[in-house]
Amino acid sequence: MSEINFLQRRRAGLTKVEKQDFVYRRYALIFFSVAFSLFVVSIGSHIFLTQRLKRLSVQHQSLTEQIANDEPVEISFLIFSQKLKSIREIYENRSNKQQAIDYFSNIFGEQVFLSGMNYGGEGNQLTLRLTSEDIFAFENTLNVLDSTEVKNAFSSVTKSGLRRDETGSYSLDLAVELKKAGEQTNANPQ
């Protein structure tokens, strides 16, 4: 008698299913390996970035404290620099005033002299009183005041109050607007 094997087809079917299951397991294993690798990488990068963020936060905090601690020094420096700027402006105004007085003392000669002076610091204006006993020297003074050399040396020159006193001396009030710092001046007579 011959043997009939009814399970052979069943085994062939099982072998085919087992091969298919093996392929599915392999794909599943690869998929889970890749997913697990990505999970490990994401956890590792999260830990790394969290630690780095903590370090940067601590560094930021220390720099903020350092800036806050240096604030009084910075304020002192700013106040000091403003004081230096104010001193420089005062010195320049004083220097301009001195140059103007020297200029007018030397330009008119010996017969005309400065008998009075008033300095208004706000507008950079200097008021001088010129006095002379000689009318011709005084006329020469008026011509010099109208010259382009004087007009170039100062922002404005205004004459007023021409008078003659009982001794025969002539006097004239002269309002001179000094040039601001940085403007070109030619207040040096030859």
pLDDT tens readout for residues 16-55: 778 888 899 999 999 999 999 999 999 999 999 999 999 9
Q: Cα separation of 144 and 157, whole Å?
A: 11
**Which pLDDT value is given to residue 54?**
96
- Provide the 8-state DSSP code for 166: T
Rounded to two decimals, the pTM is: 0.47
Reported as type and span, the H/E element at residue 162 is strand 156-164
pLDDT tens readout for residues 122-141: 667 778 888 888 888 878 88
Domain ranges in the chain are: 99-177
**Which fold does the domain 99-177 belong to in CATH?**
Gyrase A; domain 2 (3.30.1360)
